[in-house]
Structure 1
Amino acid sequence: MNDAKALAAEEIQVARQKAGLTWAAIAEHISRPKEWTVAALLGQHPVPETEARAVGELLGLSDDSVAALQRQPYRTGLGEAANDPTIYRFLEAVNVYGPAIKELIHEEFGDGIMSAINFKVDVSRRADPGGDRVVVTLDGKFLDYNW
């Protein structure tokens, strides 16, 4: 992530906490899904000008941060974030289940991939007698290889 987007993300985190706003409330304010909103405000998507200005006004962001939100990001990897226990568990799940998921995609759809560009993600909670469950749905368009 470039420095301007990283600085904007930090300003957003501080302002959000200070304002006592949830990510869901910010997402609702700009009429976007909460998952997209968090990723975008942490620097992984360009935010359209109207939404960037709305977030800037809601959180009292600097003009530099509002401008940085609108820039196309560099998506270069997780860096130190890969060491975070929550993120590491997702990497672990892909390491364990990735080959099986790949085989099942090929069996069900044919030779191709799941898009991470034409993509939706949903994070929700499901009550369970043994403790609440985290439900993460990854929903990507199938893209076949055209030989």
Structure 2
Amino acid sequence: MTAAAISKVQAGELVNDARIAAGHTWRELAESIDKPLVWTVAALLGKHPVPRDCAEIIGETLGLGSEVIAALTRQPYRIADDGLATDPTVYRFHEAIDVYGQALKELIHEEFGDGIMSAINFNIDFARVPDPAGDRVVVTFNGKFLPYQW
């Protein structure tokens, strides 16, 4: 008998609830499946398909059922969440892009030519850097340049 299907969003909520209840950090979960930290969090919250072996490790670690494991492995719908955009932390990322997006576009074109930074062939990293004036959040976007081809 197969488990009832649940959505990737529901699975993400169950993963996060189980993670908190078990006292695990996102970093511990990422290390348990040998994947990058930010990718792991995004994937476990429903934004990427999780390889079956990794989903099974997460399921076992957090005591989650087969319906959650199955949901984690499915291909996601990657759509904008207008509600998420109003979260203060997420909003600051939007604000940073609103302020610096045009400048970054100009610099990409000046340095590389006519094209874009890929968000598919892409890595992202997160770090905490101690600073006497208050710790700093460092987010690094690392995307392949894709030239427009006519």
Question: Do these two structures clear the TM 0.5 threshold for a shared fold by scoring above it?
Answer: yes
Aligned to 2:76: 73
TM-score, normalised on structure 2? 0.95
- For 1:6, which of 4, 9, 12 is the aligned residue? 9
Deviating 4+ runs (over 3 angstroms): none
Q: Aligned AA for 2:19?
A: R
Matched, 1:144 2:147: yes
Q: How does 1:1-147 map to 2 (within 5 A)?
A: 4-147=7-150
Question: How many angstroms does 1:38 deviate by?
Answer: 0.0
TM-score, normalised on structure 1? 0.96
SS of match in other structure, 1:79: coil
Question: How many angstroms does 1:16 deviate by?
Answer: 0.1
The alignment's C-alpha RMSD in Å is 0.8
Question: How many angstroms does 1:23 deviate by?
Answer: 0.3
| 1:3-61 alpha-carbon deviations (Å, 9 max, x no partner) | 61111011101100011000000000000011100000000000011101111101111
Unaligned 5+ runs, structure 1 = none
SS of match in other structure, 2:137: strand
Question: How many angstroms does 1:128 deviate by?
Answer: 1.3
Question: How many angstroms does 1:62 deviate by?
Answer: 1.5
Question: How many angstroms does 1:79 deviate by?
Answer: 2.6
SS of match in other structure, 1:134: strand
SS of match in other structure, 1:129: coil
Q: How many residues align?
A: 145
Unaligned 5+ runs, structure 2 = 1-5
Q: Aligned AA for 2:44?
A: L
| 1:69-108 alpha-carbon deviations (Å, 9 max, x no partner) | 0010001112311110000000000011000000000000
Question: In structure 1, how many angstroms separate the alpha carbons of the residues matched to 2:11 and 2:65?
Answer: 8
Question: In structure 2, how many angstroms separate the alpha carbons of the residues matched to 1:17 and 1:131?
Answer: 26
